[in-house]
Structure 1
């Protein structure tokens, strides 16, 4: 599986991932994005710049996608894109969080051409993408996993094969669902503490020493909810609602009613309606602190 690597999508996470591939894989990289600035920066690192999705696909043995949503993935898959130009033996790796049904549909379509689709959604922060310490959940055959794992480890320290195609997406979607529900619980705890005479930073630092400790507490809680910092260009409320919709879709297909997930969906939508769609998703703490009854 030699030859150039293709990379489509140089956003907040994609650009540092692509940079790590350039620096560590030992392979040439062909990159494409609709924005000129990240393309210029990645070209300075030594990447070749493509003028279209088709150029990336025809010029690469393996193509990474790092796009915001299932809609964006569908756009590059169709419309004179991946499906039209994929070669036999080519591998496409989707690093974004996307619909499980769409993932499996695309895998079947590529299989008909002798090519392969792997879902490998990423987890952790922008800093982790820069440091090459992401966690990646992979859906693929064992043979394909063995072939691509060394490349994924150029930007990840934890790489887990979760099962066949689609299993990576299932795992990542549920990871995010649990995260969103945990952030809601933290937001509720902070709101009650502030009204009950306990300082919120002290509360979460104390909880971190016991059974309520979590990654979400130490990062989303102490670094966002307590100081009230919800920047743009982070994991937005709109993206969170998109990912939660995939979890609710999975639950519906399984015949399950997830009351906690539905609650978080309503809070995320309220935050978007209040003008916070582009803000870091723990901004739901503002709604809870104001009272949502």
Structure 2
């Protein structure tokens, strides 16, 4: 399978959510630098489409229209279900994509689905890259995301300049699915680390210690981490777990992807299983839409006394 090595003349962007909209805007601002004079976008929310048209992005009326006109298609969607529907629907991307085009999945998608789609699109001479983004919405706004990329190395060389428009740290990880592996396992490690921080904070506070002092001391020792300085100090300490952020339900989805990957590899992950139970309890207690470090509230809640 080969793809056209020329710079894409038309870039299509699907999904203008929390991360997708700022990525689309950053790409639109720099599209001429990479030789792509035209951009079109598709989203179910017309308000989001109107905002990106201010950057000269055209609004597509359908997935079919976008796929038919784009040399390069980027997808920023909530999860594997949405990616599969977008690609495989009767009027979706696969049915209308042009031979020689390239597709980049910027979201978090199961590895097996990623590999299946890559094989399917290869049958139409279309390159398919998994390039899930990491870091925060602020990083998306500033164009400083981190991206792990999987897929054919020659296609990676072609799309790297596009990814540079909204990311500062891009790592080629290997063949199809390897970018998703890195992202999924990264999230799993982050979830477990923050759960440990929430446990430590709960124990310290209930034992009479100031949580801020605890975290400052940990930051000076071997327990220091990105999770401590960001999720710990900015969410756990002040108890700020807003909605319309990366929710407990979304985090549960990503953790399930990690557990499924482990199962297929014949590996047990008791730490991840424990965090899944915390996420499930948080959702049961009404925190499903809250920023996922809200699991701290589950840990702070007293256990029901045993029945006699």
TM range (shorter): over 0.9
2:18 equivalent in structure 1: 12
2:271 equivalent in structure 1: 260
Q: How many angstroms does 1:8 deviate by?
A: 0.3
Pair 1:287-2:293 in alignment: no
Pair 1:21-2:30 in alignment: no
Number of aligned pairs? 293
Q: How many angstroms does 1:106 deviate by?
A: 0.4
Secondary structure of residue in 2 paired with 1:275: coil
- What per-residue deviation string (whole Å, max 9, x for no partner) do you get for residues 227-254 of structure 1? 0000111111000000000000011001
The two structures, once aligned, show a CA RMSD in angstroms of 0.9
Distance in 2 separating the partners of 1:190 and 1:44 = 45
Q: How many angstroms does 1:25 deviate by?
A: 2.4
State how 1:70-219 maps to structure 2 within 5 Å.
70-79=80-89, 80-219=91-230
Contact 2:142 2:166 in 1 (8 A): yes
Taking structure 2 as the reference length, the TM-score comes to: 0.94
**Structure 2 residues without counterparts, runs of 5 or longer:** 1-6
Distance in 2 separating the partners of 1:227 and 1:82 = 44
Pair 1:37-2:43 in alignment: no
**Structure 1 residues without counterparts, runs of 5 or longer:** none
Q: How many angstroms does 1:292 deviate by?
A: 5.0
Contact 2:184 2:258 in 1 (8 A): yes
Q: How many angstroms does 1:291 deviate by?
A: 3.8
User: After TM superposition, where is structure 1 displaced by more than 4 Å over at least 4 residues in a row?
Assistant: none
Q: How many angstroms does 1:11 deviate by?
A: 0.2
Q: Which has the larger radius of gyration?
A: 2
Distance in 1 separating the partners of 2:303 and 2:113 = 35
Distance in 2 separating the partners of 1:272 and 1:292 = 16
Q: How many angstroms does 1:142 deviate by?
A: 1.5
Contact 2:117 2:128 in 1 (8 A): yes
